[in-house]
Amino acid sequence: MTNFKTQKMFPNAIVFFGYLILILSIFVFIDFRFLVGIMLVFFGGLFAFSFTGVMFDIEKQRFKEYSSYFGIKVGKWKKLEEFPYIGILTKNLVQSTSSLSQNKSKTRSQAFDICLMSENHRIKIPVKRFFDKEKATFAAEKMEVDLPVKLAVYSPR
């Protein structure tokens, strides 16, 4: 089985907050507040370690989009023949930040997502993200060999 993590479940600020909650829970345990500490570990772990992904079962010709909570992957299996193509889609990412002094800053970057695509390319399922086009192309060509899919240029019909 091949497994690809696609992204964190929560935004970066919430993930960072989850790590802070986990560190705080250590101090709460030291203070012998066991029930509060367990709750903090639960919520901190949920925020910090939840993610989404795609899993392929090549032998049974199926895949699963899943959400992972504490290592438990929740999702339904779908037939791989419903998505006969993979493609590389370019995305422009913008991250903006602002400070208390009202200074705003935007960071722009380009990402290359390898996506499973339906017959008419209308349904796309992201499998893996790269920030280098050559690496994305190499990975897509490898997936074309490993999976029963064809590499195609995205053109919805």
pLDDT tens digits for range 87-132: 999 988 888 877 777 788 888 889 999 999 998 888 899 999 999 9
d(CA 80, CA 123): 13
What 8-state DSSP symbol labels residue 14? Answer: H
Domain residue extents for the chain: 1-78, 83-157
Q: What is the pTM of this model?
A: 0.76
Nearest to 67 by CA among 76, 79, 59, 56: 76
- Opening angle at CA 25, ends 19 and 27, nearest 5: 120
Amino acid of residue 76 = K
